[in-house]
Amino acid sequence: MHLEIEIVPMKPLSIAAVALVLCSCSESSSNNEDTIEQDSEGTAAATCEDYASAFAPVNDLVSYECGDAFLSLTSQTGLPRTQDIADGEDIMVGLTSWIQRVPIPYTYEWRIPLAPAWSNVPIEASAQGPIAVAIDGVPIFHYERRPDVSTALDNYIEENDTVLAGELDQCGGHAGQGDDYHYHYAPVCLLDDHDLTQPIAFGLDGAPVYVGEAGNDYYGNGRFNNLNNFPANLTKEDLDECNAVMGDDGSYTHYSTKTPPYLIGCHHAPFDTALQIEPAPMNGREQRTESPLGGQYGEPASTLVTGFSVSDEGVYTLEFDALDSSGLTSWVIYSQSSTTDTGACWDFEFRVDASQPGELTTACREDVRETLINNVRSIEHNHVH
């Protein structure tokens, strides 16, 4: 399927300028510089060409380019594969706690540093915005549900773990507050075709993330329950609080686990947090405004999401149990309706009863690409100088 769509994300990042320019000169998100012992020159995690086979199975979703300092990764939709997929790998399916958000495409341009400024003092991961990007170009967020708390493992509370809250599909992702799709768990639906000697994701600090273990009877439908991809001389217990291990050259590598922190618990290199992608809700779909389905946008509702599809014409349909406990099947049907100089708009139909016409609404996304491009240019200039 090829969608002729111009998508414009909300602040602070995305579309033509969703570039995560992660550089050794940027300020850390936590920890005073005086307390961090860094390799100011940076040690290469790998050469860009080493990652070619990681992207081969997803070359219909992403393109990549090798630069001197960065791996540039472009996703035209910001979504995993949505057609011609295996049973049990439809995104959004399986959610039992749904915040009335749907996956809407974005064009992402990521830049991953190839020589991070490694720190042996952990830098706390953000609970808000992405902390990594998967090889299919989809952002990865921390498991912590609360956006304004410390993500240190000492502060772990099970009820605030997104992975355990019924909010994720069987691939480990969901649609967030900006109607953006992202992962909170290892992207297990990529594993059928993934070369396990290659990273499954990259931290925004440049650290590669490999599959160590992943999946259970829900995530991955049991296919990867017995997977153990740790190197022969490494076990899960050898990982630090960041889910990482230091190499002989001082670089760090993360491994996925079935228990918190799952992917990245903290960072071993700084990056510019001002360029994290955190799309705001679309105009007309602001958090806690009333939804035609009942309840409020952005707030959890008990249901079961049973289907998700995208037609060749670019019409998206999400199927779920009606939120009013009536026993009906409900649909949200949506498609892009227009683009303007200031953004893009999407039409929505909310069918409480899937067999009957529903309420129609339109929501629009503001175009902030010029601001984002200027931000990227400024940070690139600072990196060079």
Per cent of the chain over pLDDT 70 is 81
Whether 227 and 307 share a structural domain: no
Which segments of 45-113 are extended strands (E)? 62-66, 70-75, 97-98, 108-113
Distance between CA atoms of 320 and 333, rounded to whole angstroms?
12
Whether 243 and 335 share a structural domain: no
Contact status, residue 121 vs residue 35, Cβ threshold 8 Å: yes
Q: What is the 3-state secondary structure (H, E, C) of 301-325?
A: EECCEEEEEECCCCCEEEEEECCCC
Indicate the DSSP class of residue 362.
Answer: E
Q: Give the three-class secondary structure for 196.
A: coil
Helices (H), 18-137: 52-55
Residue 253 is predicted with a pLDDT of: 97
Whether 21 and 114 share a structural domain: yes
Distance between CA atoms of 358 and 39, rounded to whole angstroms?
58
Q: For residue 377, give both structure tokens.
A: 């240019």
Binned average pLDDT, 10 residues per bin, the chain of 385 residues: 34 32 34 38 65 94 90 92 89 98 91 90 93 96 94 95 97 96 98 96 95 97 96 96 95 97 96 69 92 95 97 97 96 93 88 98 74 50 49
Other residues' Cβ atoms within 10 Å of the Cβ of residue 117:
24
Residue 310 is predicted with a pLDDT of: 96
Closest CA to 10 of 363, 378, 381, 379: 363
Whether 270 and 382 share a structural domain: yes
Q: Is residue 291 one of the residues assigned to a domain?
A: no
Whether 335 and 194 share a structural domain: no
Q: Is residue 295 one of the residues assigned to a domain?
A: no
pLDDT digits (tens, 9 = 90+) for 234-283: 999 999 999 999 999 999 999 999 999 999 999 999 987 755 776 778 99
Our measurement of the distance from residue 59's CA atom to the centroid of its chain's CA atoms, rounded to an integer in Å, reads: 18
Our measurement of the distance from residue 226's CA atom to the centroid of its chain's CA atoms, rounded to an integer in Å, reads: 25
Residue 365 is predicted with a pLDDT of: 83
Closest CA to 79 of 95, 90, 66, 94: 90
Q: Is residue 289 one of the residues assigned to a domain?
A: no
Q: Is residue 342 one of the residues assigned to a domain?
A: yes
Whether 218 and 325 share a structural domain: no
Range of the domain at 360: 301-369
383 backbone φψ class: left, alpha, beta (φ>0; ψ -120 to 50): alpha
Residue 10 is predicted with a pLDDT of: 32
Q: Is residue 290 one of the residues assigned to a domain?
A: no
Q: Is residue 296 one of the residues assigned to a domain?
A: no
Distance between CA atoms of 46 and 48, rounded to whole angstroms?
6
Q: Give the three-class secondary structure for 16.
A: helix
Distance between CA atoms of 82 and 9, rounded to whole angstroms?
20
Whether 361 and 384 share a structural domain: no
Whether 177 and 232 share a structural domain: yes
Q: For residue 195, give both structure tokens.
A: 């070369």
3-state helix, strand, coil split of the chain in percent (to 5) is 15, 25, 60
Distance between CA atoms of 282 and 304, rounded to whole angstroms?
24
Q: Is residue 225 one of the residues assigned to a domain?
A: yes
Number of domains in the chain: 2
Our measurement of the distance from residue 76's CA atom to the centroid of its chain's CA atoms, rounded to an integer in Å, reads: 14
Whether 209 and 80 share a structural domain: yes
Residue with tokens 């893009």: 344
Distance between CA atoms of 202 and 28, rounded to whole angstroms?
18
Q: Is residue 35 one of the residues assigned to a domain?
A: yes
Whether 381 and 362 share a structural domain: no
Whether 80 and 169 share a structural domain: yes
How far lies 142's CA from each of 197, 200, 247, in Å?
24, 16, 24
Whether 335 and 378 share a structural domain: no
Other residues' Cβ atoms within 10 Å of the Cβ of residue 285:
24
